[in-house]
Amino acid sequence: GKCLLLINVHLTFPHNSFDRQLRLTQMKKFLELINEYQTKHNLIDKCSIIICGDLNSSFENDPVYQLLEKQFQSSYFVVHGKEVKVTHLTHRNEQLGVDYIFYRSNILQSISSELIPRGCNEQLWNDTSGWTLSDHRAVLSTFQYKRNIDTKIDF
């Protein structure tokens, strides 16, 4: 069988320098826990890992994003060659790209990645879509097995 670790995260909002450092500490600890879990269950290099969620910071000059991209790939970046600019309208009315799907896998590849609602402007938060479900736009990525192009998985 195939092994998949699917993990959702929601990091602290970076209100100040303490919070910014806390976010990095949270992610380092989180990655350490993933490694410990894989070691305990003999899953090192045997499992695909998908980490998704709200990192609460834009990718630009973000130590958490930089830490993740050393070990994982952003599904949106793989497909589009750039990160999404806006997935969240903050309580301060700032438009930020804070939601991501990262993955590491020997058998999966990202073949599509888009924002929900479909067709919304990834460069600008606009209300023309009527999106009221959340103050975040969901990132939807489709993966396929590298050895079997007919098998697709949506996350």
CA distances to 24, 60, 102, 136 from 94, in Å: 21, 15, 23, 12
pLDDT over 70 at 154, yes or no: no
pTM for this structure?
0.89
Q: How confident is the model at residue 148 (pLDDT cuts 50, 70, 90)?
A: low
Mean pLDDT value of segment 1-22: 92
Q: pLDDT: is 119 or 139 the higher one?
A: 139
β-pairing, 99-104 vs 73-74, is: antiparallel
β-pairing, 138-145 vs 148-154, is: antiparallel
Q: How confident is the model at residue 123 (pLDDT cuts 50, 70, 90)?
A: confident
pLDDT by residue (tens digit) across 73-93?
999 999 999 999 999 988 888
Can you list the domains of the chain with their CATH numbers? 3-154 (3.60.10.10)
